[in-house]
Amino acid sequence: MFNRIVIAARFKSLIVMIWLMATAFRIGYTDGNEYSIKAMFLLNFMKYVEWPAENNQGTFRIGVVGDSEISESLLQMIAQKQGDSRRIEVVKLGSGNQPYCQMVFVSHTENSRVDEWIKKLGAKGVLIVTEDLKLNTGSAAINLITVDNKIRFEINQSALRVSNLKVSSRLTELAINVR
Amino acid sequence: MRLILLSLLILTGSAYVRAEGNGSDKPDSIPFYEMTLEQLMNVSVSVASDLPMTNRESPGIVSVITQEEIRKSGAHDLIQVLQSVPGFDFGFDVEGIVGVSVRGNWGHEGKVLMLWDGMEMNEDLYSTLQFGGHYPLGLIKRIEIIRGPGSAMYGANAEYAVINIITETSELNGIASSVSASTYENTLSGQETSFAIGKKIEDGRVNFSASIIDSKRSNQRYIDNFGSGYSMADYSGLNSTQFKLEYVKKGFSLTGLCDNYVVKERDGYEAIYLRSYENTFFTSKYVAKYDISLDRLKITPGLKFAYSKPWYLDSNEPDDNYVPFKTSLSKGTAFTNITYEPNAMWSVIAGAQYSKLQANDLLDSSYFSNGKKVFGMENANAYAQAIYKSKIANIIIGGRFNHNQYYGQKFVPRLGLTRIWDKFHVKALFSQAFRAPSVENINFNPDIKSESTTFVELEFGFKVTQHSYLTVNTFDITTKDAIVYYYNEFSEDDYRNETTTGSRGFEVEYKWKTKKWFFNMNYSYYTTAGHPVIDAYRVPGHSDILLAFPNHKIHATASYNFFGKWSVTPSLSYLSKRYSVITNENSEETLISYNPALYLNINISAENILAKGLSLGLACHNATDESAYYIQPYANNHATVPAGGREYTISLHYNLSFNK
């Protein structure tokens, strides 16, 4: 009798565990993940931002600062867009000398040091994109934020001017905050 | 009851499916890469994954441990951190020293390389690393471990693995400080204080770090194989002091490191000593280098200098079997490293270095095997590795050419293929590694030869969900002419080349991480099947296992974040049966087995508590007070050393960033 109770309890535990595992896997498994979408925002910004002619030739480099899944998402998106004529490279940026990148994405993991990164990497012809940063405390050109489970972005016009970049009016219309 | 349970499961499951369907605004018919900004702005996002996904393409079997994982684990010593790595374990050498093993193979002498902010930490006399109360955990930002050979890129000492430690100072612009204190149930077990300050300057940075560790190997009683013993709470002190200074300006960098490690020991080699002695490892290292960047080419020439006194024992006590040992070493190295990325398809790293080492015997009445008080060794090597990113796979080809003054030329190749298919990745790796004998290897046996190791590794990875990743790897290790330490019939250190040793097996690692949870679990297995077992490592009556290290090892860590600041992190480690051997005066062997053991650790931590940047940890290590051991992995009659029992630790970390 005791054995039957134990076996029944273990059987139920097993069912619960299997269901929980299956649920956990399904919760995580969705194509709408944050960094796939953010990666596409970055690729779209290429169309709406005008770089100075001298910075807008040859390979387009997107630098990524900090630990972020966006590098992998960008590589996947670029591979899927391989029909595009312009070559796009994704570069992991860290300490030491850095290659020139037309666009630099600073991960939220580096938000405490974002000004240091902007000072280090921001130059004429470099579009700095941050995430989850309060623009009034930073000097990035574009900041991605999540509002009601959707990605939105803010634009810092003065930072764009400093970087000698122009954005289309369509981009400023879509931004939720322009200053 | 079962029907009710099943009904509930079905109901909740279907409710979940409905919620998911309603919540998604994604226009399913359009792939992301074709969406405009307007369309993207209507897509709902799932929770971001913070799972580290790097290293999928790297040509090695790699484990990365972050500062967050270290702090949440509650570990206060590097041994505790590395025991969570698949295939890693620790054994006992002699004279109070604990060393590392990889995949069942004793890696203590010159087979595992440790880099501390790029500086080699292996001493130059025997090429060992010394673990326990040595390396300041409070300063570590990240540990990258290559669980396989690194000789082709890193040279000798990287035969079985590379432990690459990156500290807080590497990019610090502020202050990072850490204090921890631990206690066993009957005595204080240790305290660590570490401090780092870094300041960005124009086109560079300057930083300084310092640490002091004062701890005990154990609180248990050590008993030698002749029945004599002592309390390790009184005689197993471990003291470490470390300073590091770095200056970087416009590509030029100058780094200096001083490390002093003192082990209080009475265990000696076989029978215990009458009193305790201090076994000291002092080293000071300096590196100057300059980065020359030319578009896609970077050339880094540099110079290194090291002065050290490892295994330094000094005493005038007349009534003991203790033997003093005093040797100093000076080593100068000139090197050039090159990285070149001609295009997106190719990347090349290469380099060359020349080093000259001089050992000085500081005792009055002893000489090196050359009959002199001075022993010198020159070494030159060049390495290169090219990665070609083809559409089919990344192809890695490389190798190292080495010339040693006593052992001539040696070339070790490295070949690999890596490929990522969306959620899958695969790596196939073939490497050779080698080790030229160290100063004392040659000193004790002038006829000793180099040893070489061949590795074959295969890894499969699968991104199970956005938050979880599973990797499985297999390996086969064969070391020929293995350099093995033994304690000869004249009670002296000695070395010999054995024929062949090695292991094969597999490792499984699963990581799941979200913003609130993380769960890491790994299982590692090795066997000696298919490899001969040399006498020094043999377990009598068991042909598939090596002395000291278990065939099976499991480690699991779960962490849950609550109220934003607080985390609770339990972890479990399982070790299967282990063995040691005792040899009596008639050379008769007795086999001792150690039952499988389960170790439980619990840590509660809080971030940004009381002040921004201040974090607190409260940990209980070995919560069930399970017996733990450091076993000698070669049959040399040193008794097994008991590790500490249940231990409580409190730690405080404070980070302050400068505004400019």
Closest partner CB to B41 (pick from A16, A72, A151): A151
Q: Over 70: is that where the pLDDT of B235 sits?
A: yes
* Residue B152 pLDDT: 79
* Residue A12 pLDDT: 54
**Residues A145 and A172 occupy one common structural domain:** yes
* Residue B489 pLDDT: 66
Chain A CB contacts of B467 under 8 Å are 28
**Residues A22 and A40 occupy one common structural domain:** no
B interface test, pick of A10, A150, A171 with most B CB neighbours within 10 Å = A150
Closest partner CB to B657 (pick from A16, A69, A113): A113
Closest partner CB to B49 (pick from A33, A80, A116): A33
Q: What is the band of B11 on the pLDDT scale with cuts at 50, 70, 90?
A: very low
Handedness of CA B108, B110, B112, B114 (dihedral sign): positive
* Residue B480 pLDDT: 95
* Residue B266 pLDDT: 92
**Residues A21 and A43 occupy one common structural domain:** no
Q: What does pLDDT average to over chain A?
A: 76
For residue B460, being part of any structural domain is answered with yes
- Could you tell me if B208 and B248 are in contact, meaning their C-beta atoms sit under 8 angstroms apart? no
**Residues A24 and A108 occupy one common structural domain:** no
B interface test, pick of A29, A60, A109, A152 with most B CB neighbours within 10 Å = A29
Q: Between chains, do A30 and B20 touch, taking CB under 8 Å as contact?
A: yes
**Residues A131 and A65 occupy one common structural domain:** yes
Q: Between chains, do B464 and A25 touch, taking CB under 8 Å as contact?
A: yes
**Residues A39 and A55 occupy one common structural domain:** yes
Q: CA angle, corner B405, sides to B404 and B408, nearest 5?
A: 55
Q: Over 70: is that where the pLDDT of B46 sits?
A: no
Distance from CA of A23 to the nearest CA of B (A): 8
DSSP 8-state symbol, B263? E
Distance from CA of B155 to the nearest CA of A (A): 24
**Cα B332 from Cα A121, distance rounded (Å):** 36
The two structure tokens encoding residue B109: 């002498």
Q: Give chain B's domain count.
A: 1
Distance from CA of A42 to the nearest CA of B (A): 10
**Cα B259 from Cα B114, distance rounded (Å):** 14
| φ, ψ dihedrals at B228, nearest 5° | -85, 150
Closest partner CB to B173 (pick from A31, A35, A116): A116
**Residues A127 and A92 occupy one common structural domain:** yes
Mean pLDDT of B449-457: 94
**Cα B172 from Cα B246, distance rounded (Å):** 11
Q: What is the band of B290 on the pLDDT scale with cuts at 50, 70, 90?
A: very high
Q: What is the band of A158 on the pLDDT scale with cuts at 50, 70, 90?
A: confident
3-state secondary structure B399-414: EEEEEECCCEEEEEEE
Q: Between chains, do A97 and B298 touch, taking CB under 8 Å as contact?
A: yes
Chain A CB contacts of B2 under 8 Å are 8, 12
Q: Between chains, do A32 and B422 touch, taking CB under 8 Å as contact?
A: no
Comparing B116 with B586, which gets the higher pLDDT? Answer: B116
Across the A/B interface, how many CB contacts are shorter than 8 Å? 124
Q: What is the band of B388 on the pLDDT scale with cuts at 50, 70, 90?
A: confident
Q: Between chains, do B26 and A31 touch, taking CB under 8 Å as contact?
A: yes
Buried b (16+ CB within 10 A) or exposed e, B192-222: bbbbbbbebeeeebbbbbbbebbbbbbbbeb
| Structure-token match 């919540």, residue found | B23
B interface test, pick of A16, A18, A19 with most B CB neighbours within 10 Å = A19
Q: Over 80: is that where the pLDDT of B453 sits?
A: yes
* Residue B316 pLDDT: 72
Give B494's Cβ-side CA count (13 Å radius).
13
Q: Over 50: is that where the pLDDT of B6 sits?
A: no
Helices (H), B42-176: 67-73, 78-82, 151-154
Q: What is the band of B30 on the pLDDT scale with cuts at 50, 70, 90?
A: low
- Could you tell me if B439 and B486 are in contact, meaning their C-beta atoms sit under 8 angstroms apart? no
Q: What is the band of B43 on the pLDDT scale with cuts at 50, 70, 90?
A: low
Mean pLDDT of B19-36: 47
**Residues A7 and A88 occupy one common structural domain:** no
Q: Over 90: is that where the pLDDT of A124 sits?
A: no
For residue B10, being part of any structural domain is answered with no
Tens digits of per-residue pLDDT, B587-618?
788 999 999 999 999 999 999 888 888 999 99
**Cα B146 from Cα B244, distance rounded (Å):** 25
Q: What does pLDDT average to over chain B?
A: 88
Q: Over 50: is that where the pLDDT of B32 sits?
A: yes
Bridge partner list, B4:
none
Mean pLDDT of A50-75: 87
CA distances from B240 to B75, B212, B278, B279 (A): 17, 6, 12, 12
Greatest Cα-to-Cα distance within chain B, rounded to the nearest angstrom = 87
* Residue A18 pLDDT: 43
* Residue B318 pLDDT: 67
- Could you tell me if B405 and B356 are in contact, meaning their C-beta atoms sit under 8 angstroms apart? no
Q: What is the band of A138 on the pLDDT scale with cuts at 50, 70, 90?
A: low
**Residues in Cβ contact with B424 at an 8 Å cutoff, skipping those fewer than 6 apart:** B460, B461, B462, B463
CA distances from A152 to A98, A131, B37, B227 (A): 29, 10, 10, 73
Mean pLDDT of A153-157: 89
* Residue B44 pLDDT: 56
**Residues A39 and A6 occupy one common structural domain:** no
Model ipTM value: 0.71
Distance from CA of B451 to the nearest CA of A (A): 37
* Residue A178 pLDDT: 79
Domain with A139, as residue range(s), is: 34-178
* Selection from B447, B505, B577 nearest residue B105 by Cα: B505
Report percent pLDDT > 70 for chain B. 91
Tens digits of per-residue pLDDT, B417-433?
988 777 788 999 999 98
Q: Between chains, do A87 and B54 touch, taking CB under 8 Å as contact?
A: no
Q: Which range scores top for mean pLDDT: A30-39, B190-199, B313-322?
A: B190-199
Q: Tell me the CATH number at B360.
A: 2.40.170.20
Greatest Cα-to-Cα distance within chain A, rounded to the nearest angstrom = 83
Q: Over 90: is that where the pLDDT of B346 sits?
A: no
**Cα A97 from Cα A104, distance rounded (Å):** 15
**Residues A90 and A44 occupy one common structural domain:** yes
Chain B CB contacts of A94 under 8 Å are 171
For residue B34, being part of any structural domain is answered with no
Strands B277-290 and B252-265: antiparallel
- Find the range with the poorest average confidence among A79-93, B68-82, B135-149, B193-207: A79-93
Q: Between chains, do A25 and B44 touch, taking CB under 8 Å as contact?
A: no
Q: Over 50: is that where the pLDDT of B16 sits?
A: no
B interface test, pick of A10, A26, A27 with most B CB neighbours within 10 Å = A27
**Residues A7 and A70 occupy one common structural domain:** no
Q: Give chain A's domain count.
A: 2
* Residue A2 pLDDT: 40
* Residue A109 pLDDT: 76
Q: What is the band of B3 on the pLDDT scale with cuts at 50, 70, 90?
A: very low
Q: Tell me the CATH number at A97.
A: 3.40.50
- Find the range with the poorest average confidence among A70-84, B477-491, B616-630: A70-84
Q: Between chains, do A80 and B33 touch, taking CB under 8 Å as contact?
A: yes
Residue of A nearest to B344 (CA): A89
- Find the range with the poorest average confidence among A121-135, B109-123, B377-391: A121-135
- Could you tell me if B218 and B234 are in contact, meaning their C-beta atoms sit under 8 angstroms apart? no
For residue B271, being part of any structural domain is answered with yes
**Residues A10 and A38 occupy one common structural domain:** no
* Residue A6 pLDDT: 46
Chain A CB contacts of B296 under 8 Å are 99
Domain with B386, as residue range(s), is: 62-657
**Cα B526 from Cα B548, distance rounded (Å):** 13
Tens digits of per-residue pLDDT, B522-580?
999 999 999 999 989 999 999 999 999 999 999 999 999 988 889 999 999 999 999 99
Residue of B nearest to A61 (CA): B344
Bridge partner list, B601:
B571
* Residue A32 pLDDT: 56
Comparing B508 with B659, which gets the higher pLDDT? Answer: B508
Report percent pLDDT > 90 for chain B. 65
- Find the range with the poorest average confidence among A134-143, B102-111, B285-294: A134-143
